[in-house]
Structure 1
Amino acid sequence: MSRVGDHASCIYRNPNEPVEARVSDLLSRMTMKEKLAQMAQIDKSVATPTVLKTLSIGSVVSGGGSAPMGRASAADWAHMIDFFQHYALQSRLGIPIIYGTDAVHGHNNVYGATIFPHNVGLGATRDVDLVQRIGAATALEVRATGVHYTFAPCVAVCRDPRWGRCYESYSEDPETVRKMTSIVSGLQGSPPAGHPEGYPYLAGRNNVIACAKHFVGDGGTKRGINEGNTISSFDDLEKIHLVPYLDCISQGVCTIMPSYSSWNGSKMHSDKFLLTNILKDKLGFKGFVISDWEGIDRLSHPHGSDYRYCIHASITAGVDMVMVPFRYEHFLEDLMSLVESGEIPMARIDDAVSRILRVKFVAGLFEHPMTDRSLLDVLGCKMHRELAREAVRKSLVLLKNGKDPNKPFLPLDRNAGAILVSGGHANDIGLQCGGWTIAWHGDSGRITIGTSILDAIKETAGEQTEVIYERHPSPSTLARKDISFAIVVVGEPPYAESLGDNAELKIPFNGTELICYVADRLPTLVILISGRPLVLEPQLLEKVDAVVAAWLPGTEGKGITDALFGDYDFKGVLPVTWFRNVDQLPMCVGDQCYDPLFPVGFGLKFNMDSQPQ
């Protein structure tokens, strides 16, 4: 049983009292141990009833790929999270937990959820309203499972496609990223006129707590190395990487996550100037700062490894909640010691806990801590899949359409005699979804419910048209006279974070060779499935008839055929520079020596006209 009734007369229990009054009242009732426990976010695997009930832990997390069981349903998730919440509410003061997960392109840890295109594809749409609607749909699917909090959006400005998180960035252009922050209002709801600047906001139970990340400069590291060093003046950091956070803060974003990376050698998780002086004081951010997964562990003492130092450096810099998935006991012991010794002032602890409680009150967790089971059926519903399909077709960028300017190759004839489809990415839901899908790094195969590109082609082609699929077509197939054209679908394997760092950016799995092999024999359309631009050799571009950048489209493959067969025209434009060769990198729009293969804003329509932005 919850102990809510034990505190019914308390100010913090009264939803009619101002949030700040509720925060002050609850804070005044908390012991030191309870305050410090609110600053910890622990993994679900160690969130036992005893821990939740006796420590009053602040938050529980499912990391990438962490689910209640194999193909867990929305109800399975809701049951698990309500189980945790039941014991959290039995703590002395009955403070609910926040349950968090990485729902970064839909509720991507959950089997059967709608998987939207990754951010780089959404950046290609330039569609602010679409992105906001995707945020709202994602929020509904997240709340359907009982989750309160998503570590999204990533508002990094990717300045080098060699970075393994390039697909998590909407664009290399800060202004495009700023526009795409409309997803915050989709996730959390739009704050009303007059809402205090910087104050966290959540519209209601159909919305989720959002997290702008990774503060700040994560997309600007040298050579695109993940968790690397961004070398720049503060003016450039502010002009390029900081500006999207202003838009997130103005929309009432509840939380912000520091980056693993550094700025001029200073680790973000311990940079007081950026986390406190700039983010909290200058920009007026009133939500809480949460570390990345074991983010404080990446800090290093000048004289060697020292976890106590890591805690001291991050908390005094301005981190309020620490994602400390497994070693929470060690964390709480050392944090208590630092407070008792005066090395971390009590005022810093009270500030951190006040920020966490403020978000919990704003989110309505005290009034509605348990899952709203009426939402269970929205997970992967038809309306959301249609929205994802719309996002896919609007994200596609047509790079080439015909060898002769007067004879466009697209749209395709759905009543062709036969169509050859080849390439491993044509018939693989996992590959078209990419990283952060079911598993942290993603996976290949039918990892969730969706429509593959091959399935979409078969559904769209005419009844009399034969669709032939061979991953690597045989000479006899290529020699068939009844094949009108080939569609070759190639691209990257799934990856996330550092394992995605790539200094060569060639089309994997001998993709270039496969394309040329087919294009030497048949008219050929190439569909690239990737989280970033890849090397397009001159001979490849000469041989093929059309090229479409489809990014990482997610589960709704019919969004691709919507455009290929002419039901909709292409709308997408490049959110990042398509380089000629990797020796040019880093190269971004606005550089003095800007000589791309295709510039930012490039994208063809069926009539061959470019549509620069």
Structure 2
Amino acid sequence: MFLTKDKISLLIVILLFAGCQSKKSYQATDKNKKDLESVLIKEQLVDRSTQVPTDSSLYKNPGLPVMDRVRDLLSYMTLEEKIGQMTQVDRQFLESDNDISTYYLGSLLSGGGSTPPKNYPKSWAEMYDGFQKIALSTRLSIPIMYGIDAVHGHNNVIGATIFPHHIGLGCTNNPQLIEDVYRATAEEVAATGIDWDFAPCLAVPRDERWGRTYEGFGETPNIVKSMAAAAVRGLQTDRLDGPTSILACAKHFIGDGGTKWGTGLKEKLDQGDTQITEQELREIHLPGYLAALEAGVGTIMPSYNQVNGEYCHVSKYLLTDLLKKELGFKGFLVSDWQGLEKMGDDYKSNIITSINAGMDMVMVPGAEKFGGQKYTNFINLLIESVNEGSISENRINDAVARILKIKFEMGLFERPYSDKSLLKKVGSKEHRNIAREAVKQSLVVLKNDGVLPLSKDLGHIHVAGKNADDLGNQCGGWTISWQGESGPITKGTTIYEAIQVAVSSVTNVTFSKNGSGAKGADVGIVVIGETPYAEMEGDRESLVLDKKDLAAIDRIKKAGVPVVVIIVSGRPLIITDELDKWSGLIAAWLPGSEGKGVTDVIFGDYNPTGRLSISWPRSMEQIPINFGDVNYDPLFEYGFGLSY
């Protein structure tokens, strides 16, 4: 064939265009391969969304491999049904219980204080079963999973065992005990039908002013790592479908304990910016998650905070590249409460960015009456985003596949309802004994001038302080309500009540909150410290002792009585100028419902073994202070603790 100069030029253009196209095609294929690294189902699914499954459908067969069941069920699902699985709503914000079926909701939760009208274990189980019945009435009969913050026992439920908060458990340095605590918690949660616990918190608190300090096991990655796997095992056991196995959720990924003062809410710490290097992120804040992943944790909750200016909820690097690709996480990610509403006013944009970053389920939770987004708005915007191409259906399919995988592994399709025979375990003597053991191992004796242990045969013991006879203060935040509150809020034994039954019949035990009436006593026990608080409300510029606490101690000292101080708090308090005036000092943290664990140490039934999992600062100017700092000179070092 004869080619003119014009035809040759045209052929060159065609060949160059073809070359460019093949290069683009190669690049797209390469990108697709990288994207496939993080997804569970890599092949194209058959669309059977217009078909009705039968009793012989593969996903209904418990004998088949889980992923075969996931593929089969996913193929039947419409976009609306898929989006429903990705949506989590708090029960208190349901406009109608039937919205569970109308919108195919995949999950419900109870936030702090979101309880049935009668807050008793049986009421919870009945409520759960009612919701589940509605979910199973949908055409695909996909059960819901129900989440709750059982962070120190089943702490939303009146009568449940309340264990020490993490800061105390970290001071035990006993992973087996932590596994026992979480196993007991799982049994009590399972008794109420609930199947998912937003725990353990694997924060590494690096600043005592933070209001969530007590939710961390301690300030070093080593103590958090050593406890993380134990907590996950306690909840999930070695199989998610056990009769009392509870789905765990490691939180808050990542760096929530490392935020910089002034970057958080109210220009403090909480939900602020963690400004650190990649190396610091991996060496300080990641190890706990590595242990949780090794233990098979099923879900992870991204954190409110930013890392170097980028919100964790929208970080593709953290959620997909690190967690799902590099670390091989096969479970699913659930946002924190209103997490997609905290990153600016463009809610739709936040949804798109977060889902594309790797978020699988969104805790909406539908708090419209408190100024939040309606769950129907979230659902509509997510559907709209998929239909317009802002989020690929492949991303939706992977999110839903991850959720369904966990539901199948949990045995929810085979055992969707509560087992009321477990209700007798809630607040049982067996569980309270575990809690008592946890309390006595968590106490750290910081000073002892020979006064401890006290004799049970003393003639007169005077007890004082606002936290001596207050179960709510003793339990702290996240107890019955979100922030917690003072008073007799649940069942348990206060420290004062425990002292009364610990001593002999010859001992006269008297009490005054303000320290009056101590004259003639052999010893004064003054229980002071903090009152309940939780996230958002608990950051403090000052950790000095309350004036009323100091006055109570002073009254007993003026009566000529030696003083043993017990600090009930979620973090170290500033005591340097007062320490010389006290004969003994015990850090009791937030011990929970079993005050007898405190008296086991006071009276020597248990030789204290607790050691500080957090440095105790000399002054506010020294904060933040952490083990390993160059100029490390705290009042009490990390790892310090006395025995008798």
TM-score normalized with structure 2 length: 0.88
Q: Which runs of 5+ in 1 are unaligned?
A: 191-200, 403-407, 607-613
Give the equivalent residue in structure 2 for 1:552: 590
Give the equivalent residue in structure 2 for 1:263: 307
Whichever residue aligns with residue 57 of structure 1, its letter is L
Give the equivalent residue in structure 1 for 2:501: 459
Give the equivalent residue in structure 1 for 2:150: 103
Matched, 1:183 2:231: yes
Give the equivalent residue in structure 1 for 2:331: 287
Whichever residue aligns with residue 87 of structure 2, its letter is A
Of 621, 624, 632, the match for 1:583: 621
How many residue pairs end up in the alignment?
577
* Contact preservation (8 Å) 1:140, 1:375: yes
Give the equivalent residue in structure 2 for 1:235: 279
* Superposed CA offset, 1:167-201 (max 9, x none): 000000101100111110000003xxxxxxxxxx5
Matched, 1:362 2:409: yes
Structure-2 separation of matches of 1:7 and 1:205: 27
Give the equivalent residue in structure 1 for 2:68: 21
Whichever residue aligns with residue 481 of structure 2, its letter is A
Q: Secondary structure at the match of 1:497?
A: coil
Structure-2 separation of matches of 1:509 and 1:367: 58
What is the alpha-carbon root mean square deviation over aligned residues? 1.2
Whichever residue aligns with residue 295 of structure 2, its letter is Q
Of 296, 319, 322, the match for 1:275: 319
Structure-1 separation of matches of 2:396 and 2:524: 63
* Superposed CA offset, 1:75-99 (max 9, x none): 1100000000000000110000001
Matched, 1:221 2:259: yes
Give the equivalent residue in structure 2 for 1:43: 90
* Superposed CA offset, 1:504-556 (max 9, x none): 11123532333233234310000000000000032x11111000000000000
Of 603, 615, 622, the match for 1:565: 603
Q: Which runs of 5+ in 2 are unaligned?
A: 1-51, 262-267, 367-373
Give the equivalent residue in structure 2 for 1:324: 364
Structure-2 separation of matches of 1:323 and 1:68: 19
Deviation at residue 203 of structure 1 after TM alignment: 4.8
Whichever residue aligns with residue 589 of structure 2, its letter is W
Give the equivalent residue in structure 2 for 1:338: 385
- The farther-off stretch of 222-231 and 164-173 is 222-231
TM-score normalized with structure 1 length: 0.93
Structure-2 separation of matches of 1:415 and 1:134: 33
Give the equivalent residue in structure 1 for 2:561: 522
Q: How does 1:401-416 map to 2 (within 5 A)?
A: 401-402=448-449, 408-416=450-458
* Contact preservation (8 Å) 1:7, 1:93: no
Give the equivalent residue in structure 1 for 2:175: 128
* Contact preservation (8 Å) 1:270, 1:299: no
Whichever residue aligns with residue 421 of structure 1, its letter is V
Deviation at residue 587 of structure 1 after TM alignment: 1.0
Q: How does 1:438-449 map to 2 (within 5 A)?
A: 438-449=480-491
Structure-1 separation of matches of 2:561 and 2:284: 45
Give the equivalent residue in structure 1 for 2:296: 252
Deviation at residue 6 of structure 1 after TM alignment: 6.7
Question: Based on CA coordinates, which of the two structures has the bigger radius of gyration?
Answer: 2
* Contact preservation (8 Å) 1:491, 1:511: yes
Structure-2 separation of matches of 1:499 and 1:54: 36
Structure-2 separation of matches of 1:505 and 1:69: 37
Of 311, 316, 324, the match for 2:351: 311
Whichever residue aligns with residue 141 of structure 2, its letter is G
Q: How does 1:192-231 map to 2 (within 5 A)?
A: 202-223=240-261, 225-231=269-275
Of 210, 216, 219, the match for 1:169: 216
Whichever residue aligns with residue 522 of structure 1, its letter is V
Give the equivalent residue in structure 1 for 2:35: none
Whichever residue aligns with residue 324 of structure 2, its letter is K
Whichever residue aligns with residue 507 of structure 2, its letter is T
Deviation at residue 7 of structure 1 after TM alignment: 3.5
Structure-2 separation of matches of 1:442 and 1:277: 38
